[in-house]
Amino acid sequence: MGDDLTGFLDHQNQRSRLDGLMIAQIFPDSPDFGTMDPRLPTILLLDVSRAMNGMPINQLNDGLLRYKDELAADLAAARRIEISIITFGGFVRSEIGLCGGNAFNPQPLVAGGDRPIGQAISLAIALLKERIVRYEKNGIPFHRPWIFMISAGVPTDSWESAAREINEGEQRREFSFFGVALDDRNLSSLKQICVRAPLKLKDLRFRDLFSWLACSQNSVARSKLGEEIGLVNPLGPNGWATC
């Protein structure tokens, strides 16, 4: 593990109490990639702040279970898709380190606390960069990584540096960053952070969102490296999003 990432995590522990997060818990020293299939690394950045209390967190948990089932249904793609969950609610926490879709097993999330979005984004980007180093070291080909963030409100920490990281990463095609808001105020905030136009979730339709996400990832995972894939438009009449 690189010294830069170790230093980053140590710094984040001091600033946001990352609850004892250790690099070894996220990426083992000697990961067993199993096959040489191209990977699609994906980090889910999920809001579990107090604004998610009640129905929102329940629907989010239901959506993650559907996501798990739909990933597992396509065994070939599940071997190629790698998923991590990072939550932000009071502090930033790694819930699941990057693992194959066939091993993805999310546990129920609990809401509470404020919303340190900037710190969560910076951590996700740092971890993706470290994963790419491991791919390259082991000769593993990979698709452009995804960061998929769902937020229920405006950041409660400094986010400007994270927004610059997103802009630079998108320009260099290091990753694709997607933002989803739960309300109009949140949507306006995400427009200042994201390069791609963020979307607003309709009526807490988390199950439909995660079904779309699994289908989209399966299509990308089965494609050739560098191939442009047309994804189903989530803004359609039956889609889960508005803008």
For 56-83, write each residue's pLDDT tens digit: 999 999 999 999 999 999 988 999 999 9
Task: Annotate 1-34 with b (16+ C-beta within 10 A) or e (fewer).
Answer: beeebeebbeebbeebebeebebeebbeeebeee
pLDDT at residue 229 in the model: 87
Residue 238, exposed/middle/buried by CB under 10 A (0-12, 13-18, 19+)? exposed
Nearest partner of 177 among 185, 169, 189, 187, judged by Cα = 169
pLDDT band at 228 (very low <50, low <70, confident <90, very high): confident
In a domain, 112, yes or no: yes
Decide if 28 is inside a domain: no
Whether the CA torsion 15, 168, 213, 221 is positive or negative: it is: negative
Q: Report percent pLDDT > 90 for the chain.
A: 79
Which token pair is 12?
């984040």
Longest Cα–Cα distance in the chain: 49
Contact 77, 222 (CB under 8 A): yes
For residue 97, tell me if it sits in a domain: yes
Q: Is residue 101 part of a domain?
A: yes
Residue 33 falls inside a structural domain: no
User: What is the pLDDT at residue 190?
Assistant: 96
Give me 117's structure tokens. Answer: 């979005």
- pLDDT higher than threshold 80 for residue 216: yes
- Report if residue 132 sits inside a domain: yes
Looking at residues 176-197, what average pLDDT do you find?
95
Q: What is the CATH number of the domain that holds 45?
A: 3.40.50.410
Q: Is the pLDDT of residue 192 over 80?
A: yes
Looking at the structure of the chain, the number of domains it has is 1
Q: Looking at residue 182, what is its pLDDT?
A: 96
pLDDT at 155 over 90: yes
What is the model's pLDDT at position 32? 58
Q: Could you list the residue range(s) of the whole structural domain that residue 217 is in?
A: 38-225+233-242
Across residues 173-190, what is the average pLDDT? 95
Judge whether 121 lies within some domain: yes
Q: Report long-range pairs for 131-134 (Cβ below 8 Å, ≥24 apart).
A: 131/27, 131/41, 131/82, 131/98, 132/41, 132/174, 133/2, 134/27, 134/31
What was the pLDDT predicted at 218? 95
Residue 35 binned pLDDT confidence (cut-offs 50, 70, 90)? confident
Asked if 240 contacts 200 with a C-beta cutoff of 8 angstroms, the reply is no
What's the order of all strands across the beta sheet hosting 92-100? 92-100, 81-88, 40-47, 146-151, 176-181, 199-201, 241-242
pLDDT over 80 (residue 23):
no
Is residue 23 in a domain? no
pTM score, two decimals?
Answer: 0.86
29: pLDDT confidence band, cut at 50, 70 and 90? Answer: very low
The residue type found at 67 is: Y
Q: Which helix (H) or strand (E) holds 103?
A: none
CB of 141 closer than 8 Å to CB of 173: no
pLDDT per residue as tens digits for the range 120-149:
999 999 999 999 999 999 999 999 999 999
